[in-house]
């Protein structure tokens, strides 16, 4: 039984695999089926959604589908050949740092697009000492960035808070609303729901630390066996990135539909995102260096992590050079 079929079979305990991008057009007979894992619907994967809606993947002969897979399982599924791509670049980087044969080949945000949300009345992260904080999984992007924010606030993340692994942003918000936890980091796309629920939005992680969010991760085997598909995938996604920046009004409409947010909030979400955008499709050196430093600490690794172990920027650089 394959890994993804196991996930589907045991869907009562894990998020189901759900196709989010329905095929709505007649693709050419040679179009390749490609699956991309996302952890939940959110702002971080919006370049993929734009590229899908605007037909950029179709132009490259790719029929791209998004499937929801728990973050902690994506890199393992990549390495096993069960997934073509992961859109959670941080998870791929951390898996590669631990020795899994996967790499990130494209990035699109240099800073996290998350807010820290707490129960009504919470105004400062310092109030979270000895409180329960929901994250997706140990070593995940939410876990890593919360640890850094707590440390900067003078709170020991290993001894003075309780981390609870809940799942994606939607599940964490539900846990917060139910009172199961005291605070959680959420995708900034949830800001409207947070306001309507009367919860406290008291911190934007992009103001605290630079490290990458989102991106395309692949197996090392795929880099060797199908580099041409990776090039086409990146080329189409780069068009999605540039469309995001250069076509604000249409992008706002896509945000409203994809994230189910109102016009009032779509502008706020867009402004957060455009500040963090990496147009070239790679990740700033400082941002990646911070990611690797935080990963070493969160994962308890002693050795330095070489950039080449976790990333392969040759595809985006070749495309930038017109190759």
Taking the whole predicted model, whether its pTM rises above 0.75 is answered as yes
Domain spans of the chain, in order of start: 3-111+212-320, 114-207
Count the neighbouring beta carbons within 10 Å of the beta carbon of residue 140. 23
| Interatomic CA distance for residues 64 and 80, integer angstroms | 19
Whether 101 contacts 220, CB under 8 Å: yes
3-state class (DSSP) for residue 106: strand
Q: Can you give the pLDDT at residue 279?
A: 86
Q: Which two tokens stand for residue 271?
A: 């402004």
Q: Can you give the pLDDT at residue 19?
A: 44
- 114-207: CATH topology: D-Maltodextrin-Binding Protein; domain 2 (3.40.190)
Q: Can you give the pLDDT at residue 300?
A: 81
Classify 215 in phi/psi space as left (phi over 0), alpha (psi -120 to 50) or beta: left
Count the neighbouring beta carbons within 10 Å of the beta carbon of residue 250. 14
Q: Can you give the pLDDT at residue 167?
A: 87
Q: Across-strand partners of 85?
A: 36
Q: Can you give the pLDDT at residue 29?
A: 52
DSSP string, 212-279: -B--EEEEHHHHHH-HHHHHHHHHHHHHHHHHHHH-HHHHHHHHHHHHT--HHHHHHHHHHHHHHB-T
pLDDT in 10s for each residue of the chain, 323 residues: 555 544 433 333 344 334 444 444 444 557 899 999 998 888 989 999 999 999 999 999 999 999 999 888 999 999 999 999 999 998 899 999 999 999 999 999 988 899 999 999 999 999 999 999 999 888 788 898 999 999 999 999 999 999 999 988 899 999 999 999 999 999 999 999 999 999 999 999 988 888 888 999 999 999 999 999 999 999 999 999 999 999 999 999 999 999 999 988 999 999 989 988 988 899 888 889 988 988 888 778 888 999 999 999 999 999 988 87
Q: Which two tokens stand for residue 161?
A: 């808070």
Q: Can you give the pLDDT at residue 41?
A: 87
| Interatomic CA distance for residues 165 and 25, integer angstroms | 39
The pLDDT tens digits for 62-102 are: 999 999 998 889 999 999 999 999 999 988 999 999 999 99
Architecture of the domain made up of 3-111+212-320: 3-Layer(aba) Sandwich (3.40)
Q: 191: part of which helix (H) or strand (E)?
A: helix 191-196
Q: Can you give the pLDDT at residue 82?
A: 96
Equal CATH topology for 3-111+212-320 and 114-207:
yes
């Amino acid at each position: 039984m394959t890994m993804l079929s196991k996930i589907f079979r045991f869907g009562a305990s894990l998020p189901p695999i759900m196709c989010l991008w329905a095929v709505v057009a007649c693709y050419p007979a040679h179009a390749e089926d490609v699956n991309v894992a996302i952890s939940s619907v959110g702002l971080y994967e919006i370049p993929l959604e734009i590229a899908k809606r605007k037909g950029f993947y179709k132009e490259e002969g790719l029929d791209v589908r998004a499937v929801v897979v728990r973050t902690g399982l994506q890199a393992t599924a990549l390495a096993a050949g069960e997934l073509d791509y992961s859109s959670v670049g941080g998870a791929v980087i951390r898996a590669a740092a631990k020795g899994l044969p996967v790499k990130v080949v494209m990035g699109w945000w240099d800073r996290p697009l998350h807010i820290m949300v707490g129960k009504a009345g919470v105004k400062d992260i310092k109030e979270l000492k000895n409180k329960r904080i929901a994250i997706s999984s140990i070593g995940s992007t939410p876990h890593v960035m919360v640890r850094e924010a707590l440390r900067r606030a003078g709170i020991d993340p290993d001894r003075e808070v309780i981390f609870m692994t809940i799942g994606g942003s939607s599940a964490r918000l539900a846990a917060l609303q139910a009172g199961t936890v005291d605070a959680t980091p959420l995708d900034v796309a949830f800001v409207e729901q947070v306001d309507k629920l009367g919860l406290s939005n008291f911190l934007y992680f992009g103001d605290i630390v630079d490290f990458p969010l989102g991106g395309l991760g692949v197996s090392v085997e795929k880099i060797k066996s199908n580099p041409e598909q990776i090039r086409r995938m990146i080329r189409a996604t780069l068009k999605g990135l540039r469309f995001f920046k250069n076509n604000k009004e249409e992008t706002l409409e896509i945000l409203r539909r994809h994230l189910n947010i109102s016009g009032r909030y779509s502008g706020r979400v867009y402004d957060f995102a455009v500040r963090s955008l990496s147009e070239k499709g790679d990740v700033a050196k400082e941002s990646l260096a911070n990611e690797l430093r935080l990963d070493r600490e969160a994962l308890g690794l002693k050795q330095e992590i070489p950039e080449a172990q976790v990333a392969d920027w040759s595809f985006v650089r070749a495309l930038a050079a017109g190759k």
